[in-house]
Amino acid sequence: MHYDLIVRNGHLLDVAQGLDRTGSLAFAGGKIAAIDVSEADTATAEVDASGQYVTAGLIDLHTHVYVGGTSLGVDPDELARGSAVTTLVDAGSAGAANIAGFRAHVIERADVRILAYLNISFAGIFGFGGALSVGEGWERRLLGVRECVAAVRDHRDIIVGIKARVGPSSSGDSVIDPLKLALQAAEELDLPVMVHVEMPPPTIDEIADLLRPGDVLTHCCRPYPNAVVSPRSGEVNRSCMAARERGVFFDTGHGRGSFDYAAFGRMQRAGFLPDVISSDVHLFNRKTPAVDLLTTMNKAIALGVDLPDVVTMATTAAATALRRPELGALKVGAAGDASLFTLEETPRELFDSLGALLVAQKSLRPRGTVQAGAWREAVL
């Protein structure tokens, strides 16, 4: 059999598909065409993946890549090429007023796949900076459900949900209203909501109690207060436990201030790890501490999470949260995406959002990706 591309002799890793062994992967017509092809099979292009892990295409569920249109956007292709990611999900950089610009000037020009949560704020994240920072939820007149719904209907192919940011810096006196309005829009559209959690108010109880099956609570590894697990009792917050039981996803969303090693450790001990691992990378944390998805994955591995579980968080679980079953799986007929990386025994200093240092003894290093059946070498 002749294929467009064969990735040979890699360590195929996809827990959901029962793969954790050496094998070869073939692509044709932009999709995964075969697993375990023979030496006699040929391809227009071949990649030797000996000594490398081959997983479904990594999905970063929380990024900010509206570069040039917002103050916090980073270049999506540069980010993806350096982190072996095949799908970037922008978490609310754009609202109804500027999603068309985001699409035309960034999404449609990028090599990497970009999907988006649409911000319930008409203007999106318009005032996120260093010395100057204005939360988009502060201005109630911009929280337009009707405009949000109309914009999603115009761009349904790329929009995966509605984003709301709540807290003193994000919503100010509007408190939890952006989330309530985002839920209204999401109900009409049959889409999930992703909600940003920061310092109270509102409390994490108030937030989690509103969330429905399939919604996403991001920044779940943030420090106390509004932590998922109490530092005093070591117990999982009641509202968070109930939310998980009814099908709410808990997303890492590392970011600039939302990944605390101590909080992550408490979640481990309580048996309440995040469902999804993501970077929340943006211009103001690109160098440190978030950097990219592989760096966040490295931190989870250094903290004791097994590689197969970390990969599942960044593939199968992320695709499930997105309601995109064609992504995040090494199976015939799935999107022709794969991520290749090595796990090297190279000590590396990793900082959390509070400045705590962890020296990882092993770290993932990107080798490249397959996107729609085409090979792309990593650029570091």
Over the stretch 95-108, which tens digit does the pLDDT of each residue have? Answer: 999 999 999 999 99
Q: What is the pLDDT of residue 61?
A: 99
Q: What is the mean pLDDT of residues 259-277?
A: 98
Answer for the pair 84, 298: CB distance below 8 angstroms, yes or no. no
Is it the case that residue 77 has pLDDT exceeding 90? yes
Contact 121, 91 (CB under 8 A): no
| Three-class secondary structure of residue 162 per DSSP | strand
- Return the domain boundaries, the chain: 2-55+332-377, 57-322
> In the prediction, which pLDDT does 143 show?
98
Residue 155 marked as a ligand binder: no
Band the pLDDT of 130: cuts 50, 70, 90: confident
pLDDT at position 250:
99
pLDDT over 90 at 285, yes or no: yes
**pLDDT at 249 exceeding the cut of 80:** yes
Length of the chain: 380
Confidence of residue 32 (pLDDT cuts 50, 70, 90): very high
Superfamily covering domain 57-322:
Metal-dependent hydrolases (3.20.20.140)
Residue 11, marked binder:
no
CA distances from 28 to 1, 42, 101, 111 (A): 11, 12, 32, 18
Q: Please give the structure tokens belonging to residue 360.
A: 């990882």
| Percentage with pLDDT > 70 across the chain | 100
Residue 290 has pLDDT above 80, yes or no: yes
Query: Mind listing the pLDDT tens digit for each residue in 166-203?
Result: 999 999 999 999 999 999 999 999 999 999 999 999 99
User: Pick from 177, 253, 193, 186: which is nearest to 219 by CA?
Assistant: 253
163 annotated as ligand-binding: yes
Question: 338-363 in b/e burial notation, b at 16+ Cβ within 10 A?
Answer: bbbbbbeeeebebbbbeeeeeebeeb
**pLDDT per residue over 216-237, tens digit each?**
999 999 999 999 999 999 999 9
| 36 labelled ligand-binding | no
DSSP per position, 11-31: EEEEGGGTEEEEEEEEEETTE
Question: H helices of the chain, where?
Answer: 76-81, 99-105, 145-154, 177-189, 204-210, 238-245, 261-269, 293-302, 307-313, 316-322
pLDDT band at 92 (very low <50, low <70, confident <90, very high): very high
**pLDDT of amino acid 129:** 85
Nearest-angstrom CA–CA distance, 339 and 363: 15
Give me the mean pLDDT over the 266-272 stretch: 98
Residue 131: its pLDDT value, please?
80
Q: What pLDDT sits at residue 179?
A: 98
Cβ(224)–Cβ(249) below 8 Å? no
Mean pLDDT value of segment 294-322: 98
Q: pLDDT digit string (tens) for 316-351?
A: 999 999 999 999 999 999 999 999 999 999 899 999
- Report field, pTM of the whole predicted structure over 0.75: yes
Q: What is the mean pLDDT of the chain?
A: 97
Q: Residue 132 has what pLDDT?
A: 85
Per the listing, tokens 């109309």 go with 150
219 in a labelled binding site: yes
CA distance linking residue 14 with residue 330, whole number of Å: 6
Burial of 29 (0-12, 13-18, 19+ CB in 10 A): exposed
What secondary structure does DSSP assign to 289-328, as a single string? S---HHHHHHHHHHTT--HHHHHHHTTHHHHHHHT-TTSS
Identify the three-state secondary structure at position 269.
helix
- Tell me if 62 is assigned to a ligand binding site: yes
Superfamily name and number for 2-55+332-377: Urease, subunit C, domain 1 (2.30.40.10)
